Amino acid sequence: MQPPFHLVDLDRAVPPDTDTGEPGGRVLVGVAAQPVEPPRDFDILLTAAPHPPRPWVACADPHATARGLADAVTAQPAAAVALVQVLRMGARLTGPDRLVLESLAYSTLQGGAGFRAWLASARRRPARPAAVPVRLTRDGARLTATLDRPGVRNAFDAATRDALCEALHVALADPSITRLDLRGNGPAFCSGGDLAEFGTSRDPAQAHLIRVGRSPAALLQRCAHKVTAHLHGACVGAGIELAAFAGRVLAAPDTVIRLPEVGMGLIPGAGGTASLPVRIGRERTAYLALSGVGLPAGDAFAWGLVDEITSPVVPSQVTDHG
């Protein structure tokens, strides 16, 4: 079996016996001082040049960054390889099929040793359900859906998923609704999947059926032209994966975006392998997911992950409803 990580220095001539070929079951990373036209099939491209064009990622020391990526791949090889395989295959699929592919890989990894090890080491968190996890308000043709679990930074649990699906069904069914604003109450838009529920599903196959049958991502794909997402604070996992489907994404200056799932032995499972590549490409999506780094609002805007940086959220406008 080939090593799960392969680095190519594109500033040097590639020896004949180092043909990249099809990456297969490995993460293929290229580094260069300046962006060049790379061979096909690279999963991540790193350069020291500032403000490089897509698909390149700028970093002060590409080789040091590559070493960090290698460590991440070594720590969770199954999740890392599954991630880049899903991203490669997804480029040839329709949006709905990308979601099915992502869910199949996610469910497979739920039964894997990497996720089990992470789960065993994770701190147990008590469930804190909300009576109304998504609050709906309407003003004429505009419907606003507000994630309303501020005490847990709008962590995305099953009840929130179901309530958001209901809101999206309303937007799809009512032609008089021409705009849907998606917001988060409290200090963060959404801190990602609720860790209190992680590992509670004992049947990954059934979880897959639920994930594709009750999918906010699939509904967002259908009504994206109506949706404006308003980001602030932490936008982690599902918090950016779902928002990226919106036709327009606005971000407050304090917005920080992160995809932590690979470090948990998983891949993004709320639609991120379908939504983010459309906005920023599969290579930059792979970089965010494998590195787990926080992407600030300015960089997200430069990449096209958000469309506009707006004024900060006023603290007095948020209330903890528990």
User: Can you tell me the distance from the alpha carbon of 157 to that of 196, in angstroms, rounded to the nearest whole number?
Assistant: 8
Domain residue limits, the chain: 5-75, 94-271+297-317
Based on the number of CB atoms within 10 Å of its own CB, is 13 exposed (0-12), middle (13-18) or buried (19 or more)? exposed
Q: Identify the DSSP state of 36.
A: -
**Model confidence pLDDT, tens digit, residues 280-294:** 999 999 999 999 999
Architecture in CATH for domain 94-271+297-317: Alpha-Beta Complex (3.90)
| Residue 245: count of CB within 10 angstroms of its CB | 28
What region, left, alpha or beta, does residue 76 occupy, with left being phi > 0 and alpha being psi -120 to 50 degrees? beta
pLDDT in tens, 165-178: 999 999 999 999 99
- Taking the C-alpha atoms of residue 245 and residue 87, their distance in angstroms, rounded to an integer, is 16
pLDDT value, residue 314: 52
Tokens of 322: 């528990």
Distance CA 43, CA 2 (A): 16
Peptide bond into 260 cis (omega under 30): no
Closest CA to 215 of 256, 262, 166: 166
- pLDDT tens, 138-175? 999 999 999 999 999 999 999 999 999 999 999 999 99
For residues 60 and 281, give the distance between their C-alpha atoms in angstroms, rounded to a whole number. 21
Is 60 exceeded by the pLDDT of residue 318? Answer: no
